Structure 1
């Protein structure tokens, strides 16, 4: 996807970006790396969720995994609840959780002072200056998830995109391919918590 088309799509997302083109971060005009995709087995016990809906296109690249504490698990559950409230399916929850894993490791981050990336905050590192909402809103897990999902809904064909491309189209990260590494853990978390 070229950067002109990417910026145009982002600007059209429900007024989440300013008309001047200021968005959550610099867009890059890189083509997706050529990586062999293959289906991945989700490693949770339960047959609570149709596993084919979680990773329908296979994963790209090496996968990362972190141990989660109670706060991070609560944020996973909040993302899943918001996804259901938005009327979206398990795949949308996988994309949202993988995005939050990359952006904040599922920790609801406040302003980090000198270490802060512009004015990015919350689970999705959304920026008030880019129209995502107030600081209070973007540090509320339900609000920030709903804002992310609102953007995702407006990406034509997001269901048919690799996870990292769908996430990048909403987030416009300086590191667009980093989302892919969290797909397996995100799918495991959705399978574990979707019906809990």
Structure 2
């Protein structure tokens, strides 16, 4: 009986290992699709197509797009970066992964991407990805999946392509090529409020976009971001909405349109000065 029990236990362990390996292979193949939430999606992006993300995914996507622009990378590079992060992490800043992989792009310290702490910073990770992409000769003429593969060297080189359409929609919106294209619904209990929220937003805008600074609003807790033109204005406006959940943004106004956390949608306002090229952001006040 003891021999049979040991045999049964050994067989069970073999089956468990086989199942675990099989699940891992499936996850690697379908990538971020399993990582996307099935319910509770709070952000809708519409720009010649529609994408739905939750608050964390939206904030990460906005940062990836902003870092690409700050580095003066073309639109195509942002599409490649977003498709890569979609596949590798589901646009989530993962604490771990396969072997020593970390972060949005599942970069590995053992392969020279940086320390685990560094790679865990979405801005650092995005900068490293764009730097590596730029070193790929002729990447601009490659398919999205081929360009991504030259950087990532994945066991599934075609997997990135399935995210190309979603990434194109996100890129158009986050680079300001669509109006009122990012709409997120924010809960009534924001993570940050008041001066702390305004300070975090100012710091985030500076780090992501390289902006020199923003002005506080005299009548409301928040900030005003100067925009050189409509394109830049919508870039900042969509970034602010994308980070509304984690930075306590209550309202964003630009170009005669206003987004509110309560409604989660953009609507037209009649009292906005026509010549005002500032993006106005109001944060939740201190309780």
3-state DSSP class of the match of 2:61? helix
Pairs within 5 Å for 1:30-179: 44=47, 67-111=52-96, 116-179=97-160
Aligned residue number for residue 19 of structure 1: none
Cα distance in 2 between the residues matched to 1:93 and 1:148? 10
Please list every run of 5 or more consecutive structure 2 residues that lacks an aligned counterpart in the other structure: 1-45, 177-234, 236-287
How many Å apart are 1:66 and its aligned residue? 6.9
CA contact (8 A) 2:100 2:108 kept: yes
Larger RCO (CA under 8 A, 6+ residues apart):
1
**Quick check: which has more Rg, 1 or 2?**
2
Structure-2 separation of matches of 1:45 and 1:104: 24
TM-aligned CA deviation for residue 67 of structure 1: 3.3
C-alpha separation in 2, matches of 1:173 and 1:68: 24
Q: Which residue of 2 aligns with 1:181?
A: 162
Measured in 2, the distance between the counterparts of 1:72 and 1:96 equals: 14
Report the Cα offset of residue 85 of structure 1.
1.6
Residue-by-residue CA offset, 1:104-134 (whole Å, 9 max, x unaligned): 01000002xxxx3110010000001110011
For the residue of structure 2 that corresponds to 1:67, the secondary structure is: strand
Q: 1:86: Cα distance to partner?
A: 1.3
CA distance in 2, matches of 1:194, 1:110: 28
Q: CA RMSD in A?
A: 1.7
Tell me the TM-score normalized by structure 2.
0.44
TM-score (norm 1): 0.64
CA distance in 2, matches of 1:107, 1:147: 17
Q: Deviations over 1:53-90 (max 9, x none)?
A: xxxxxxxxxxxx97310110100110011101211011
SS of alignment partner, residue 156 of structure 1? coil
Partners of 1:84 and 1:191 lie apart in 2 by 12
